[in-house]
């Protein structure tokens, strides 16, 4: 068991108030190196992160159209991916592994969604037209003193982050007619999944457990994301959630990993039209 890894998954939350001091160059280099070691969901896709200092927060907030208040992050990164196959899921999957690694270095981070603003960001960071950028990540040491930590809690409430769906609201056993609590062996996985971050805390993920296979679905429409392009956050958020489950398995020393689904598979369980299949893990 890797308890530190599992604890990081369970205790993670977005950090919005930071110690203003920049991180040591060695730490930034370490993060850049870690980005090259995360597991891919689709090995053919090319993933990279660009790390930058934040000059003024106002500039960053304006460029990204961020919601909520973000105070004094010393750095931000632009994770991006090139590739045709499930790019947003893969981008989320890889970036969330990096975020958890950063938590193990006692750092804090918060995603700032960028869907709908990708053209502006590509121009600003001189990226290819095909590059997908689901979110930028602000990061640094979380603010230490009590006043600052309290303020982080207030910002969290303002951003609508405090409400988590219960396991019974996202988990189904055998068929979608049976919402329920997960069996004991799945509890650590579903707990990690529940605590994943998502744009506007939409929590689009739903799980079905059938014959030793754990299926991940997402809601096709999520009112919280808003209309149009931001509906695609469900792909990115699915990737974040898949990373949480995969890391929870890894913390138990297990190898099982996600298989992406096309929706065309003949042995797919029946599911309501409001959901879309994403992936499954064979747990046996
Ligand atoms: C794709 C994405 C975009 C996000 N954009 C913002 C943002 O612009 N401003 C903000 O304060 N939080 C943002 N968040 C953080 C979410 O609000 C947060 O993950 C969610 O409310 C759950 O809270 P938690 O991360 O503290 O568990 C974003 C998260 C994701 C995954």
pLDDT of 89-122, one tens digit each?
Answer: 999 999 999 999 999 999 999 999 999 999 999 9
Whole-number percent of the chain with pLDDT over 90:
79
- Residue 135 and residue 8 share a domain: yes
Claim to verify: residue 120 and residue 175 sit in the same structural domain: no
Same domain? For 178 and 265 the reply is yes
Pocket test for ligand 1, best of 161, 164, 234, 235 (most atoms within 8 A of CB): 161
Q: Which of 107, 128, 158 is the last residue of a domain?
A: 158
Q: Which residue has the higher pLDDT, 42 or 121?
A: 42
The average pLDDT across 212-221 equals 97
**pLDDT in the model for residue 68:** 61
Q: Is the CB of 67 under 6 A from ligand 1?
A: yes
Does residue 96 sit in the same domain as residue 230? no
Mean pLDDT of 72-83: 93
- 240/181 same-domain check: yes
Pocket test for ligand 1, best of 159, 230, 233 (most atoms within 8 A of CB): 159
Last residue of a domain, one of 136, 158, 180: 158
Q: Is 14 in the pocket of ligand 1 (CB under 6 A)?
A: yes
Ligand 1 atom nearest residue 197's Cα: 19
What's the distance, Cα to Cα, between the start and end of the chain in Å? 19
What sign for the dihedral angle of Cα 248, 141, 92, 152? positive
> Are residues 274 and 218 both part of a single domain?
yes
User: Tens of pLDDT along 117-132?
Assistant: 999 999 989 999 999 9
Whether residues 149 and 178 share a domain: the answer is no
pLDDT at 67: 63
What is the tally of structural domains in the chain? 2
Percent of the chain with pLDDT over 70: 91
Residue 219: give its domain's CATH number.
Answer: 3.40.109.10
Query: Ligand 1 atom 23: the closest Cα is on which residue?
Result: 161
Confidence of residue 211 (pLDDT cuts 50, 70, 90): very high
Answer yes or no: do 20 and 140 share one domain.
Answer: yes
Q: What is the distance between the alpha carbons of residues 10 and 6, in angstroms, rounded to a whole number?
A: 6
Ligand 1: does its nearest atom lie under 6 Å from the Cβ of 236?
yes
φ/ψ of 147, rounded to 5, equals -55, -45
Q: Specify whether 21 is located in the same domain as 138.
A: yes
pTM of the model as a whole? 0.94
Please state the φ and ψ torsions of residue 267, each to the nearest 5 degrees.
Answer: -95, 20
Pocket test for ligand 1, best of 201, 218, 226, 232 (most atoms within 8 A of CB): 201
How many angstroms separate the Cα of 271 from the Cα of each of 67, 80, 119, 165, 274? 33, 32, 35, 20, 8
Of the CA atoms within 13 Å of residue 270, those in its CB half-sphere come to: 5
The pLDDT, as a whole number, for residue 180 is 87
Sheet bearing 108-113, strands edge to edge: 46-53, 75-82, 135-140, 108-113
In the prediction, which pLDDT does 160 show? Answer: 66
- Structural domain harbouring 181: 167-282
Q: Which of 158, 184, 219 is the last residue of a domain?
A: 158
Q: Are residues 128 and 173 in the same domain?
A: no
């Amino acid at each position: 068991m890797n308890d530190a890894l599992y604890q990081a998954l369970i205790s993670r939350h977005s950090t919005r108030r930071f110690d203003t001091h920049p991180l040591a160059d060695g730490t930034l280099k370490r993060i850049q190196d870690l980005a090259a070691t995360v597991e891919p969901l689709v090995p053919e896709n090319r993933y990279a992160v660009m790390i930058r200092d934040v000059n003024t927060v106002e500039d960053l907030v304006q460029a990204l159209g961020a919601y909520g208040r973000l105070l004094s992050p010393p750095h931000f990164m632009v994770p991006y991916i090139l590739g045709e196959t499930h790019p947003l899921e893969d981008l989320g999957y890889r970036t969330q592994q990096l975020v958890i690694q950063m938590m193990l270095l006692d750092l804090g981070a918060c995603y700032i969604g960028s869907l709908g603003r990708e053209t502006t960001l590509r121009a600003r960071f001189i990226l290819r037209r095909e590059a997908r950028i689901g979110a930028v990540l602000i990061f640094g040491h979380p603010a230490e003193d009590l006043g600052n930590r309290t303020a982080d809690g207030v910002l969290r409430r303002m951003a609508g982050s405090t409400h988590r769906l219960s396991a019974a609201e996202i988990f189904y056993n055998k068929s979608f007619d049976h919402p329920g609590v997960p069996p004991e062996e799945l509890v650590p996985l579903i707990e990690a999944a529940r605590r994943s971050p998502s744009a506007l805390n939409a929590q689009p993920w739903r799980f079905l457990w059938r014959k030793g296979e754990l299926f991940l679905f997402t809601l096709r429409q999520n009112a919280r994301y808003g209309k149009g392009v931001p509906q695609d956050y469900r792909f990115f958020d699915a990737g974040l959630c898949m990373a949480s489950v995969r890391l929870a398995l890894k913390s138990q020393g297990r190898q099982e990993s996600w298989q992406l689904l096309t929706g065309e598979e003949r042995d797919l369980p029946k599911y309501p039209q409001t959901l879309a299949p994403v992936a499954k893990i064979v747990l046996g």
